[in-house]
Chains A and B, each alone.
Chain A
């Protein structure tokens, strides 16, 4: 189980996997995630699933190589297995007929959006995707998402593709000219916080899919707790999607960086081959 079936590089630091995992593929819904562990002394980290094929029993995953564990994960080759994988976790994404939908992501988080976008399309929505990246070299799943959405807007920091600037600026521009019924954002907490504010300003229902620190992923540890509308919620069991303007993003950003020094140390030792 959990055997790497196909692998390709999407962009510097981004790896795409097709994983044979029939049981999870049979049950997972767009927006749900898994927890993986890649070696016997390894940590458990949450990973989003970009798509699934129930018939073939496969899961697609975009790995952003941000730390030691994701680097190790990305180093797996076809035929090798992911040691442990638990899922599907979390509540599936809201798939309704909203009308005009805007999804917004940056680089690797496009992976987490892909199956949700497909489901939103299938539910009869008009879907726009605003995709941000450092430059055109860092665009992830551009063609795949481009093929399913009604409109793809690309914003690069250096202007090497699409408009120059951040995705949130592109969103502001878009909202000036278009009537939108629903916004879904998956990205850094900082970006999602801004998207939440913009959504609120326009009175548009806006959801954010949060990336919190998790251990078990089933509600046992509380590491992923987040304050939503003043109440403590668990991103693993009550989320990962929440109304963006109700999330205390400042707290989430601080919680996400709690182990920053340890993560850096693990990465340094890993790079030195220790």
Chain B
């Protein structure tokens, strides 16, 4: 056993993977997982667990892997995480469990994410569906708005506690951002579908094509017998830079671009009916995970792709792994550059992006150095397609249709530490309350909200 270095995780070679949407990271084989599990120090006071937003008993499940008892391992994981195939893939482990791993102080941290994924995939491949003991139905109904990570988690917990749970989803497919946002080379559709099926198998009902705020408002949900409501409506409203020409043809929000490809399968047009149009030179503006997802999707559609960011690589909020993967796949990067205007041809198709160079000034509220324009440094870039990935704001339909629901100036729903909103019986979590964040953070708040809803309904 090698304490210093982790068992390397295999990946599809870049030249192969840019030609398809197959998953980039290949999971551990059984032997590899066991070898990696042996590296764990089994700390008495595990720091890794403190770094986990849903509090998985990490040393315990790794020990089970080491002992080749994968059934026990999945049981341990599922005590605290209902979507391990998802989190094993998309969690920023480097900032969480693995970032806190004691071994990581000196050597490479234990590959906790890869182990979690191995266990979850092994269980799925072997049809081992470990369900926690479901308490007897208590006859109480809870409504959940949105079937993304926070809603699925909240619903699964409450179903386990004996509640009758219904999730209302606006789109025609469940999963929220897991379905429309994250591309299949990071999170295959089959994984999302299986996790959604698992949550349903716990007794959670999911109804698609229902727009809460229009079909039922929150008051009507209470009238329909729901004792509590959880709002997991996400941050799905694309932000635009507010510069001239931003509505020219060929300028997409990252949401539109990803929605077309991930959910509607536009890259398979005309077999699928939704089209996507993408020119030769693609520019993606932004620096987060959604930016990287968009850029890597565009690359898979066979285009020259440049990521344009107003700060430098150091400040990029995207996971390092995603940036590295993107580089391997041939993405270009232009740092310290920001768009100031777009110009199009006679048909209104974008052709030129006028940019200004930036320099880093004093740190701002986020602790990152603030980008400042360099006067007189404007220059033009030739572009055929632009994808704007500079962030998303919370969906506004529920706040619009719900008086008394307190929201912040940024549009996030105000909650206390127990995920309670300003309306009695209404709870919220995920990106709807925090603004755009991670899948696991949303799951953590879904879990907290479930506990809070349980306390609330038990005391009634």
Contacts and interface: CB of A to CB of B under 8 A. Distances in A.
A95 interface: no
B236 A42 contact: no
A85 B209 CA distance: 6
B209 A221 contact: no
B238 A215 contact: no
A255 B397 contact: no
Contact of A27 (B215, B264, B274, B348): B215
Contacts of A218: 170, 211, 236, 395, 397
A225 interface: yes
A251 B272 contact: no
B214 A227 contact: no
Contacts of B256: 215, 221-223
A216 interface: yes
B310 to A, nearest CB: 20
Contact of A227 (B236, B247, B277): B247
A202 B260 CA distance: 43
Contacts, number: 112
Interface string A39-56: 001111000000000000
A269 B396 CA distance: 39
A262 B264 CA distance: 15
B301 to A, nearest CB: 14
A219 B272 CA distance: 23
Interface residues of A, number: 41
A75 to B, nearest CB: 14
B432 to A, nearest CB: 13
Contacts of A254: 249, 347-348
B208 interface: yes
Interface in B204-248: 208-211, 214-215, 236-238, 240, 242, 246-247
Contact of A232 (B210, B240, B277): B240
Contacts of A69: 273
A220 B172 CA distance: 14
B261 to A, nearest CB: 11
A269 B275 CA distance: 14
Contacts of A211: none
Nearest to B235: A220
A86 B211 contact: yes
Contact of A24 (B215, B255, B277, B348): B215
Contacts of A225: 240, 247
A216 B170 contact: yes
A77 interface: no
Given A24-B215, A232-B246, A255 B348 contact: yes
Contacts of B269: 262, 266
A89 interface: yes
B199 to A, nearest CB: 21
A158 interface: no
A259 B277 contact: yes
B52 to A, nearest CB: 30
B242 to A, nearest CB: 7
A37 B273 CA distance: 10
A259 B396 contact: no
B335 interface: no
Contacts of A89: 211, 214
Given A218-B170, A262-B269, A43 B274 contact: yes
A107 B249 CA distance: 28
Given A222-B240, A223-B256, 18 more contacts: A43-B264, A44-B264, A83-B172, A84-B209, A85-B209, A88-B211, A216-B170, A216-B259, A218-B211, A218-B236, A220-B180, A221-B238, A221-B253, A221-B255, A251-B247, A254-B249, A263-B275, A266-B270
Interface of A: 23-24, 27, 37, 41-44, 68-69, 83-89, 215-216, 218-223, 225-227, 232, 237, 250-251, 254-255, 258-259, 262-263, 265-266, 269
12 contacts: A41-B273, A69-B273, A84-B172, A215-B274, A218-B170, A219-B237, A221-B256, A222-B255, A225-B247, A232-B246, A250-B348, A265-B270
The 5 A-B pairs of least Cβ separation, nearest first, read: A254-B348, A262-B275, A221-B256, A43-B273, A222-B253
